[in-house]
Amino acid sequence: MKNLANCTPTEFVAQTVKIKKVAKDWMDATKIIDILRTPPKYVKLPENATDEVKAEIFKRNLEIQQEQGMENFSRIFDASFEENPQKTLDILALCCFEDPKNVDSHPMSWYMKSIQELLEDEVVVSFFSSLAQLGQKNISKR
C-alpha cells in the first residue's frame, strides 16, 4: 500500500500539494488549532504555600492538564468524525494515494495500517510537524 512514507520524492511532492488544499479546508472546518490552543485552567499557587500545599497543587494541576488533553481530544474527534466526516475521509484517502471519491474501495483496516506506517516514520512526522509549526508562526502565509 502506497503512502507518504514509502512513495517516491516526485509522488511525495505532488501528493502533499493535493493534501495541503484539502487539509486547509479540514482545519478551518474543524477549528482544530483553536481546540489545541485551549489551555488548562490551572489552580494558582498561593504566595505563602507550604511544601505540602505546593505538592498538592502540582498534583492537581497535572490532573487538570490531563483532563484538558482528553477534553481537547474528544472535541477534535467530534469535529473530525461527527461534524466533518467527509473532509476527514478525504485527507485519509489522499495520505494513502487514493482518490477521495474512491475512499470506500478499501476496508478501514487498510487505511489504518497505512496511517500507522506513516505515523511510525519519523521523517514524515517531523516534516509535517515542522510545517505545522511554520503555519502557527504565520511564516508559511503568503
Q: How many whole angstroms separate alpha carbon 125 and alpha carbon 132?
A: 10
CA–CA separation, 45 vs 16, rounded Å? Answer: 46
Q: How far apart are CA 37 and CA 23, in angstroms?
A: 18
Rounded-to-integer distance, Cα 91 and Cα 22, Å: 7
Picking from 75-79, 100-104, 125-129, 138-142, which range would have the lowest pLDDT averaged per residue? Answer: 138-142
Cell of 72: 481537547
Residue 15 — φ and ψ, nearest 5°?
-70, -40
For residue 97, the tally of other CB atoms under 10 A from its CB is 17
H helix or E strand, kind and range, residue 39: none
Summarised one tens digit per residue, pLDDT across range 102-124 is 999 999 999 999 999 988 999 88
The model's pLDDT over 68-101, given as tens digits with 9 standing for 90+, comes to: 999 999 999 999 999 999 999 999 999 999 999 9
Alpha carbons 17 and 23: distance in angstroms, whole number = 10
Whole-angstrom distance, CA of residue 87 vs CA of residue 78: 13
pLDDT tens digit sequence for 13-64: 999 999 988 988 999 999 998 999 999 999 999 999 999 999 999 999 999 9
CA 47 – CA 95 distance, rounded (Å): 51
Is-above-0.75 flag for pTM?
Answer: yes
Q: Where are the domains of the chain?
A: 9-136
First to last CA, the chain: 35
Given a cut of 50, whether residue 142 has pLDDT beyond it is: no
